[in-house]
């Protein structure tokens, strides 16, 4: 995130090869006032040059994928995990699936391409497309698992004779001969023209010789008529028997490109000039497979996407300061190295081609070197915007005006966000549903007014914390779930909430967007919970923060309390542990994107249904697990319950993916040492010192699950509940918690 006021938003749509270079370039040389936002459908983006090696078994999944969450953490970029569905160019917004749009000042698109399955009847149902490549990795691993027990003949057809199809077929042949040892394997490549039609004759000759030597069948100059279950039909009426079909045919553009009004080429790809800028919109750039450089048309190959990274970064900088972009001329001849799956490779450039194991080692060296630039953290921390010298070019008339306006803001009146900004945000959010609200945001006054139905008690709680992730919408969801946790823990139904939102000083439009995203995320959770947003306060601060004062209604006779543990009760937990250590590591760029995604999914899951299930099951005590960690909150329950001890099963503690691995690497939340003070209440710490789950007891949770004591015969009635212990009578020598486990 940029230090000082935010002036410009550069949005990178797609995690392609060019965009990862832009991220690193802006991290090494930041521009004050400029924020980079990366929007990615996939958190782990593959390097296309290594995918055939992955299929052949030479690389692990991690070795050939760039973790965008870690890269964003290292480079200081904001990461939004979402899929684009279109553009609102009038308002400069990227439209996203299932969430509000993201605004931009400059937009760069690098979303790749996909095989055109529409041209082959049955392909969408019976074939596996190789692109988007990000989906191929996990599909291939699942396919391999199934093949390990395959019996009888195994017939694989690869449709497409370009470089991608040829490499994939040979990689599949090599890997399946290792994995599916009980099967009689036949791999076939079918193509409507010749293989490697765009490359030199020498390359085609060498690759045909490889096919013959390996026993891979080649069917050239035969169009595919139809794909059905168990077969591929050719245009002459012949059929190829197929147990699995992979499609690596001519790339097609994203369908939503046609709705943008941007100029496209004859195949539907975004048309850009030699500066990589759209020919129809100066605020939009496009690179990689999704774009066609009209003055310099080249094949859809990863080598060009890699080469476009530096000129794209340079031209984005120039566009930000009002300077004309520079033209870029891609090379006409380029080195192509095609792996044969078995540790050999064929290299071709221009008219010549060579083959050998040394060629594969050369390719492997090039690919691994490129990946190291984006998979491994730098030897020293990347430069931050705070350390960057001023860029004189940025101080144009508009920037000076914005900086002066931001710098002279009043700090009184609670440093409020402007009335116009707030009014527009509330209008975009729309009315908040809720019952028993007499005065709320639909008719704002000096304060909200709510009615408490007869026979019900009002439950109140408050929570507030600064952001720990860059996606304001997701942070808004997490903050709302966290705040409602205390209401759910008491068995109450959420009723209404007041928000306290803080956004960093920025240009007015950008402050409005950030505030809208925060509250839109919160409204997602509040609305589903039946909790009306009835007011609040918004202000400026050094970083984003969000909190809520929440109200709930409960029948006093059925309210759950911390105290009430009874001997024989089973102790249950409704969410996995580990959010503290995962985000502590994420702040250092050490947590995998998949781990962060899993933690966020848990944190965004409301506990309302679990709360009502606990009441129905006759739960005797309940609390939510948050900042004090499991041990701290359990100790509160025991202290409030009287003479009971809990036998806690360390083996049963549910943990989020990555949590125990990160503990083993030495990561921990900054609150962990304080939570460790509860260890004097625990017996068995010495014996359990090496247990991988022990640190989970003290890991602070955000939007954690409910911890409850339930009669043993009712545990099965509570969805998501994991039994982690049992209450028994406390003896004279017993502590609060006794640990058990292997």
CA dist 445 and 460 (Å) reads 21
Question: 422 and 538 in contact (C-beta within 8 Å)?
Answer: yes
The DSSP H or E segment spanning 534 is: strand 532-541
CB hemisphere CA count around 304 (13 angstroms):
23
Residue burial 286-315, b: 16+ Cβ < 10 Å; e: rest: bbbbbbbbeeeeeebbbbbbbbbbebbbbb
Q: Is 651 exposed, middle or buried (0-12, 13-18, 19+ CB in 10 A)?
A: exposed
Provide the CATH number for the domain formed by 409-559 in this structure. Answer: 3.30.1330.10
Tokens 């039909």, residue located: 233
Q: What is the pLDDT of residue 330?
A: 79
Q: 380: how many CB neighbours lie within 10 A of its CB?
A: 6
- Compute the distance between CA of residue 690 and CA of residue 663 in angstroms, rounded to an integer: 11
| pLDDT at residue 437 in the model | 73
- pTM equals 0.87
DSSP bridge pairs for 9: 35
Q: Is 437 helix (H, G, I), strand (E, B) or coil?
A: strand
How buried is residue 664: exposed, middle or buried, by Cβ count under 10 Å (0-12/13-18/19+)?
exposed
Handedness of CA 279, 284, 289, 290 (dihedral sign): negative
Write the CB contacts of 419 (distance below 8 Å, at least 6 apart in sequence).
none
CB count within 10 Å of CB 689 equals 8
Catalytic annotation, pick one of 410, 413, 531, 622: 413
CA distances to 35, 455, 715 from 470, in Å? 11, 43, 38
- Residue owning tokens 């630039």: 373
What per-residue confidence (pLDDT) applies to 408? 44
Instruction: For residue 245, give the DSSP letter.
Output: E
Note the pLDDT of residue 302.
64
In this structure, whether the domain defined by 115-250 belongs to CATH 3.30.450.20 is answered with: no
Residue with tokens 């007015």: 508
pLDDT beneath 70, residues of the chain: 1-4, 134, 182, 300-302, 377-420, 434-435, 438, 445
SS3 599: helix
Q: CATH number of the domain at 561-742, out of 3.40.800.20, 3.40.640.10, 3.40.50.620, 3.90.650.10?
A: 3.90.650.10
Question: Which of 365, 563, 580 lies closest to 465 in space, CA to CA?
Answer: 580
How far apart are the C-alpha atoms of 83 and 72, rounded to whole Å? Answer: 17
Long-range contacts of 224-228 (CB under 8 A, 24+ apart): 224/120, 224/159, 224/190, 224/192, 225/121, 226/120, 226/121, 226/122, 227/120, 227/121, 227/122, 227/123, 227/125, 227/126, 227/127, 228/122, 228/126
d(CA 679, CA 534): 42
Q: Do domains 8-113+253-331+378-385 and 115-250 have the same CATH topology?
A: yes
Contacts of 581 (CB under 8 A, 6+ apart): 659, 662, 663, 667, 668, 669, 672, 695, 699
Residue 418: predicted pLDDT: 62
Backbone angles phi, psi at 722, to 5 degrees: -120, 125
Q: So what's the pLDDT on residue 308? A: 93
Distances (CA, A) of 605 to 64, 155, 518: 32, 44, 17
* Burial 119-146, CB ≥16 within 10 A → b, else e: ebebbeebbbbbbbbbbbbeebeebbee
Give the rounded distance of the alpha carbon of 36 from its chain centre: 16
Question: Token digits for 385?
Answer: 């915007």
Q: Which CATH number fits domain 8-113+253-331+378-385: 3.40.50.720, 3.40.50.970, 3.50.50.60, 3.30.300.20?
A: 3.50.50.60
Catalytic (active site) residue 531 = no
What's the gap between Cα 720 and its chain centre? 23
CA dist., res. 339 & res. 207, Å (int): 10
CB hemisphere CA count around 500 (13 angstroms) = 14
Contact 448, 516 (CB under 8 A): no
Angstrom distances, CA of residue 621 to CA of 413, 587, 700: 43, 35, 21
The per-residue pLDDT for 4 is: 60
**So what's the pLDDT on residue 415?**
52
Decide if 563 contacts 640 (C-beta within 8 A).
yes
Domain boundaries, the chain: 8-113+253-331+378-385, 115-250, 409-559, 561-742
β-pair type (682-683, 737-740): parallel
């Amino acid at each position: 995130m940029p230090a000082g006021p935010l002036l410009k938003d550069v949005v990178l749509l797609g995690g392609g090869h060019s965009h990862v270079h832009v991220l690193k370039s802006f991290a090494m040389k930041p521009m004050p006032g400029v924020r980079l936002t990366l929007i990615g459908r996939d958190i782990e983006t593959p390097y296309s040059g290594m995918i055939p090696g992955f299929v052949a078994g030479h690389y692990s999944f991690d070795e050939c994928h760039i973790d965008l969450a870690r890269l964003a953490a290292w480079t200081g970029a904001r990461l939004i995990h979402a899929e684009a569905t279109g553009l609102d160019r009038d308002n400069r917004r990227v439209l996203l699936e299932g969430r509000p749009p993201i605004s931009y000042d400059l937009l760069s698109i690098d979303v790749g391409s996909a095989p055109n399955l529409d041209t082959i009847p049955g392909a969408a149902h019976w074939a596996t497309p190789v692109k988007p490549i990000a989906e191929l990795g996990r599909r291939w691993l699942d396919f391999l698992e199934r093949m390990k027990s395959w019996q009888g003949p195994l017939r694989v057809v690869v449709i497409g004779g370009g470089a991608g199809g040829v490499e994939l077929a040979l990689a599949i042949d090599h890997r399946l001969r290792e994995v599916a040892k009980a099967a009689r394997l036949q791999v076939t490549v079918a193509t409507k023209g010749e293989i490697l039609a765009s490359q030199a004759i020498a390359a085609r000759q060498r690759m045909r010789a490889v096919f013959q030597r390996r026993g891979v069948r080649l069917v050239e100059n035969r169009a595919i008529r139809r794909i059905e279950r168990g077969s591929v039909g050719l245009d002459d009426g012949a059929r190829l028997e197929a147990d699995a079909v992979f499609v690596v045919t001519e790339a097609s553009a994203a369908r939503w490109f046609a709705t943008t009004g941007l100029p496209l080429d004859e195949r539907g790809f975004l048309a850009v000039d030699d500066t990589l800028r759209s020919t129809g919109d100066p605020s939009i750039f496009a690179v990689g497979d999704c774009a066609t450089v009209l003055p310099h048309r080249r094949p859809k190959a990863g080598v060009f996407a890699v080469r476009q990274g530096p000129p794209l970064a340079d031209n984005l900088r120039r566009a930000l300061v009002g300077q004309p972009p520079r033209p870029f001329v891609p090379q006409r001849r380029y080195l192509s190295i095609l792996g044969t799956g078995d540790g050999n490779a064929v290299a071709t450039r221009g008219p010549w081609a060579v083959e050998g194991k040394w060629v594969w080692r050369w390719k492997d060296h090039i690919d691994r070197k490129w990946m190291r630039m984006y998979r491994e953290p730098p030897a020293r921390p990347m430069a931050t915007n705070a350390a960057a010298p001023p860029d004189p070019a940025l101080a144009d008339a508009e920037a000076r005006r914005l900086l002066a306006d931001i710098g002279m803001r009043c700090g009184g009146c609670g440093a409020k966000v402007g009335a116009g900004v707030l009014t527009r945000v509330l209008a975009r959010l729309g009315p908040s549903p809720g019952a028993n609200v007499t005065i709320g945001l639909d008719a704002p006054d000096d304060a909200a007014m709510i009615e408490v139905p007869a026979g019900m008690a009002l439950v109140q709680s408050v929570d507030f914390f600064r952001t720990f992730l860059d996606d304001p919408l997701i942070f808004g969801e997490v903050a709302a779930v966290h705040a409602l946790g205390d209401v759910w823990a008491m068995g109450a139904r959420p009723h209404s909430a007041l928000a306290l939102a803080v956004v960093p000083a920025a240009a007015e439009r950008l402050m409005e967007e950030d505030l809208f995203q925060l509250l839109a995320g919160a409204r997602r959770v509040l609305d589903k919970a039946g909790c009306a947003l009835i007011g609040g306060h918004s202000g400026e601060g050094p970083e984003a923060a969000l909190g809520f004062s929440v109200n709930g209604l409960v029948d006093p006779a059925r309210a759950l309390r911390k105290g009430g543990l009874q001997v024989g009760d089973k102790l249950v937990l409704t969410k996995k542990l580990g959010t503290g250590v995962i985000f502590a590591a994420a702040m250092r760029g050490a947590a995998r994107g998949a781990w962060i995604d899993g933690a966020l999914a848990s944190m965004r899951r409301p506990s309302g249904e679990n709360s009502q299930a606990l009441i129905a099951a006759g739960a005797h005590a309940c609390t939510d697990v948050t900042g004090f960690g499991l041990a701290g909150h359990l100790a509160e329950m025991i202290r409030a319950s009287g003479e009971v001890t809990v036998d806690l099963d360390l083996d049963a503690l549910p943990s989020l993916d990555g949590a125990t691995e990160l503990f083993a690497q030495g990561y921990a939340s900054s609150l962990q040492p304080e939570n460790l003070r509860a260890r004097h209440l625990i017996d068995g710490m010495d014996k359990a010192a090496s247990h991988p789950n022990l640190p989970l007891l003290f890991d602070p949770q955000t939007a954690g699950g409910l911890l409850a004591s339930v009669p043993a015969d009712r545990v099965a009635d509570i969805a998501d509940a994991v039994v982690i212990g049992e209450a028994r009578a406390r003896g004279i020598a017993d502590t609060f918690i006794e640990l058990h486990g292997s």
